[in-house]
Amino acid sequence: MTDAPKKLFIKTYGCQMNVYDSERMAEAMGGEGYVQTDSAEDADMILLNTCHIREKAAEKVYSELGRMKPLKAAKPDLRIGVAGCVAQAEGEEIMRRQPMVDLVVGPQSYHRLPEMERRLKDGRQVDTDFPLESKFDDLKQRPKMRRAPTAFLTVQEGCDKFCAFCVVPYTRGAEVSRPSDRVLAEAQALVEAGVREVTLLGQNVNAYHGHDGGLAGLVGELAKIDGLDRIRYTTSHPNDMDDALIAAHGDCEKLMPYLHLPVQAGSDRILKAMNRKHDAESYLRLIERLRAARPDIAMSGDFIVGFPGETEEDFQATLDLVEEVRYAQAYSFKYSTRPGTPAAERAQVDEDVKAERLARLQALLSRQQTEAQEAMVGREVGVLFEKKGRLPGQMIGKSDHLFAVHADAPEELAGQIARVRITSAAPHSLTGQLV
């Protein structure tokens, strides 16, 4: 009689790169006899894969750990680990504050998870190094199982920009790019497992240098893979949008007409205080060049409201920039301090002022998103169907421009791209009919 497999529960916080990392952690632990479960109560090991970007990120992790104390009490052999960027930033503090935590592992060291788990018999484990060996070289190949039609694929990690508000250079380290041959091999394996669309990930993905032609060169090589029909990438920095990558948006049919290009603010004074190393005018001219290359490109962005020193005039400059760009999607947040970053030591904007400005900005962005979606009505678009909808006979997928689309369609279209004519727009999705 064989032993029952051990069960692994992973809770993922934050960005797409953490989603990718969680997949790879599950694969690494699969080699140790673990299978994934959707229930923490059922698990033999729990991993919290954390993000340090959002407000009070560390305290949210401690709260989650507190809720897991009864699980540990009921099952003393339960292993609990904290991974990701909060682990990197506060590894020793986590171990001090939460004796129930068995292991802490940073985002560059998670390939060592199996070894750490084996060493737990010798005591609690912490690994927040930036190892010389690449985790991508050490991790096992992805198992040959069927996958959803879309997948994330990390090609670059870390950041050398040192924006004054950001912890990424401290938690993810310096910019590192994966060699293109290994990225291409992983992409080919994903296609063989059923993937039709990949999103290339990086903290500063357009700084990718693992191919002689940079990210544009990598996109060109990926486009040659039969069965890979769509390519996207995120997140980019305006200063690394080179001529070749701009041209690729017009020349490469498989590169989708959607780009997330954070600007953070519209005031040159605030951009300088953020250490962004670009100004509003250069960003706007970059948008012009991208739209000249691909006129129907949908733009997305990030905005921070209430950065230290922001005046009403500075905030109005952000609103003016948004009005000029006209975003199809965007993400906006109140500034919150990150210990150890330069901006954390500066005089802060009043929280009520931040909240009021954020409400105004989000109202404008919401209106623009609604207008972008309503402009799709009557158009014919390609939709990659992914899953069944809530209504009988309905399928849901994503358009070329990354809008969610509902349509009456047979289940057999899951994982396939079909032409759809958009008939109506709702706040967060489109409805259409198969052509």
With a pLDDT cut of 90, the percent of the chain lying above it is 70
**Which residues are part of a known binding site?**
15, 51, 85, 159, 163, 166
Q: Which amino acid is at 109?
A: S
Distance CA 168, CA 165 (A): 9
264-306 pLDDT, tens digit per residue, is: 999 999 999 999 999 999 999 999 999 999 999 999 999 999 9
Q: In what order do the strands lie in the sheet with 329-334?
A: 258-260, 298-305, 329-334
296-347 pLDDT, tens digit per residue, is: 999 999 999 999 999 999 999 999 999 999 999 999 999 988 878 899 889 9
Q: Model-level pTM?
A: 0.81
Q: Encoding tokens for residue 387?
A: 């899953």
pLDDT at position 106: 85
**Which residues are part of a known binding site for [4Fe-4S] cluster?**
15, 51, 85, 159, 163, 166
In the chain, what are the domains? 6-127 (3.40.50.12160), 144-256 (3.30.750.210), 258-375 (3.30.750.200), 380-434 (2.40.50.140)
The phi, psi pair for 85, rounded to 5°, reads -75, -35
pLDDT higher than 60, residue 142: no
Report the range of poorest mean pLDDT among 53-57, 76-80, 121-125, 250-254: 53-57
List CB contacts of 329: < 8 A, sequence separation 6 or more: 260, 298, 300, 369, 372, 402
pLDDT higher than 90, residue 401: yes
Distance CA 256, CA 381 (A): 12
25-58 pLDDT, tens digit per residue, is: 888 898 888 999 999 999 999 999 988 766 566 7
Beta strand extents in 181-328 (DSSP E only): 197-201, 230-234, 258-260, 298-305
Distance CA 366, CA 356 (A): 15
